[in-house]
Structure 1
Amino acid sequence: MAGTTVSGIGSGIDTQAIVDSLVAAQKAPKQTQINTQTLKATTTLSSIGKIQSALDAFRGALSNMTDTNSFGGLSLQSSNEKVATVTMGSGAATGSFSLLVSKLAKASKVSTQVYADGAGSVVNKGTTATTLTMTQNGKAFDLSVPPGATLQQVRDSINSQFGPAGLSANVLTDATGSRLIITSTKMGEGSDITLSGNSGLDTGYKVVDEPVDAEYTLDGVEMKSKTNDITNAVSGLNIKLVGLSTKNANSGEYSPTILSLSTSSSTLKSGLKGFIDTYNALLKVVNAETKVTKNADGSMTAAALTGDASMRTLMTSIREELNAVSGNGTLKTLAAFGVTSSQDGGTLSLDDKKWDKVASTNAADLTSIFNGKDGLLARLQKVTEPFAKASTGTLAERSKTLSESLTKLKAEQDTLDTRMDALKKSLQDKYNNMDTLVTQLRQQQNSVLSTLNALNKSKDD
Structure 2
Amino acid sequence: MASPIVPSTGLGSGLEISKIVQALVTSDTSAKQAQIKRQTNNNSAMISGIGSLRSALTAFQDAMKKLNDPKAPSFNAYTGTSGNESVVKVKSDGSAVPGNYDIIVNKLATSSKVASQQFAGGASSAISAGEMTISQGGKSYKLKIDSGASLQSVRDKINKEMSENGISANIINEAGGSRLVFASTNTGAGSDISVGGIPELTIDGTVQMSGSGGGFITALAQDAELSVDGLKITSASNTVDKAISGMSLELTGVSAKSGDGSSASTRLTIAQDNDGLKKNIQSFVDAYNTLQKAVTSLTTVTKDASGTMVLGQLTNDPTTRSLLGDMRGVLSQAGASGSLSSLSQLGINTMKDGTLEFNSTKFTTAMDKKMLGGQVQNLFTGDGGVFERMNKAIDPYNSIDGSLASRKANLDKVAKNLSNQQAALDRRTDSLTESLTRKYVAFDTALGKMKAQASQINSIFEALNAQQKNS
Q: TM (normalized to structure 1)?
A: 0.82
How far apart are residue 360 of structure 1 and its match?
1.9
2:197, 2:462 → 1: CA distance?
Answer: 123
1:447, 1:136 → 2: CA distance?
Answer: 119
Segments of 5+ residues of structure 1 without an aligned counterpart are none
Residues 274/161 of structure 1: CA separation in 2 closer, same or farther (3 Å cut): same
**1:101-180 correspondence to structure 2 within 5 Å:** 101-114=105-118, 121-124=123-126, 133=132, 135-137=134-136, 138-142=139-143, 151=152, 155=155, 158-173=158-173, 178-180=178-180
Match of 1:348 in 2: 356
- What is the root-mean-square deviation in Å for CA atoms of aligned residues? 3.5
> Secondary structure of the residue that 1:377 maps to in structure 2?
helix
Match of 2:418 in 1: 409
- Between the two proteins, what is the percent identity of the paired residues? 32
How far apart are residue 207 of structure 1 and its match?
2.5
In structure 2, which of residues 83, 86, 110 is the aligned counterpart of residue 82 of structure 1?
86
> Secondary structure of the residue that 1:81 maps to in structure 2?
coil
Provide, for residues 244-292 of structure 1, a one-character-per-residue CA deviation record: whole Å limited to 9, x for no partner: 2344435x43344444433222222222222211211111211111122
Q: TM (normalized to structure 2)?
A: 0.81
How far apart are residue 408 of structure 1 and its match?
1.8
State whether structure 2 residue 248 is matched by structure 1 residue 238.
Answer: yes
How far apart are residue 149 of structure 1 and its match?
6.1
Match of 1:379 in 2: 389
Residues 332/146 of structure 1: CA separation in 2 closer, same or farther (3 Å cut): same
Match of 2:74 in 1: 70
310-319 or 92-101: bigger deviation? 92-101
> Secondary structure of the residue that 1:59 maps to in structure 2?
helix
State whether structure 2 residue 38 is matched by structure 1 residue 36.
Answer: yes
2:275, 2:230 → 1: CA distance?
Answer: 32
In structure 1, which of residues 256, 260, 281 is the aligned counterpart of residue 290 of structure 2?
281
Match of 1:194 in 2: 194
Residues 419/114 of structure 1: CA separation in 2 closer, same or farther (3 Å cut): farther
**1:293-312 correspondence to structure 2 within 5 Å:** 293-295=302-304, 298-312=307-321
Residues 164/177 of structure 1: CA separation in 2 closer, same or farther (3 Å cut): same
1:18, 1:160 → 2: CA distance?
Answer: 81
Residues 355/88 of structure 1: CA separation in 2 closer, same or farther (3 Å cut): closer
Segments of 5+ residues of structure 2 without an aligned counterpart are 1-6, 204-212
**1:308-327 correspondence to structure 2 within 5 Å:** 308-327=317-336
Residues 157/28 of structure 1: CA separation in 2 closer, same or farther (3 Å cut): farther
How far apart are residue 352 of structure 1 and its match?
3.5
How far apart are residue 448 of structure 1 and its match?
3.0
The residue type equivalent to 1:81 in the other structure is: E
**1:221-236 correspondence to structure 2 within 5 Å:** 222-236=232-246
Contact preservation (8 Å) 2:8, 2:18: no
Contact preservation (8 Å) 2:76, 2:273: no
1:47, 1:215 → 2: CA distance?
Answer: 61
How far apart are residue 233 of structure 1 and its match?
4.8
Contact preservation (8 Å) 1:123, 1:201: no
Residues 450/142 of structure 1: CA separation in 2 closer, same or farther (3 Å cut): farther
> Secondary structure of the residue that 2:134 maps to in structure 1?
strand
Residues 254/445 of structure 1: CA separation in 2 closer, same or farther (3 Å cut): same
Contact preservation (8 Å) 1:124, 1:130: no
In structure 2, which of residues 356, 363, 369 is the aligned counterpart of residue 361 of structure 1?
369
Contact preservation (8 Å) 1:54, 1:285: yes
Match of 2:57 in 1: 55
Contact preservation (8 Å) 2:366, 2:372: no
2:368, 2:379 → 1: CA distance?
Answer: 17
Contact preservation (8 Å) 1:77, 1:259: yes
Provide, for residues 184-203 of structure 1, a one-character-per-residue CA deviation record: whole Å limited to 9, x for no partner: 22233443333456696669
In structure 1, which of residues 402, 424, 441 is the aligned counterpart of residue 450 of structure 2?
441
> Secondary structure of the residue that 1:56 maps to in structure 2?
helix
> Secondary structure of the residue that 1:8 maps to in structure 2?
coil
How far apart are residue 206 of structure 1 and its match?
3.7
Residues 12/335 of structure 1: CA separation in 2 closer, same or farther (3 Å cut): same
How far apart are residue 171 of structure 1 and its match?
4.0
1:350, 1:375 → 2: CA distance?
Answer: 18
Residues 322/217 of structure 1: CA separation in 2 closer, same or farther (3 Å cut): same
Provide, for residues 174-229 of structure 1, a one-character-per-residue CA deviation record: whole Å limited to 9, x for no partner: 56665443312223344333345669666954432533333444565544433323
Residues 206/369 of structure 1: CA separation in 2 closer, same or farther (3 Å cut): closer
Provide, for residues 13-72 of structure 1, a one-character-per-residue CA deviation record: whole Å limited to 9, x for no partner: 332232233223322222221221221222222222222122222223223333454333
> Secondary structure of the residue that 1:432 maps to in structure 2?
helix
The residue type equivalent to 2:392 in the other structure is: K
How far apart are residue 399 of structure 1 and its match?
1.9
269-278 or 434-443: bigger deviation? 434-443
1:113, 1:160 → 2: CA distance?
Answer: 22
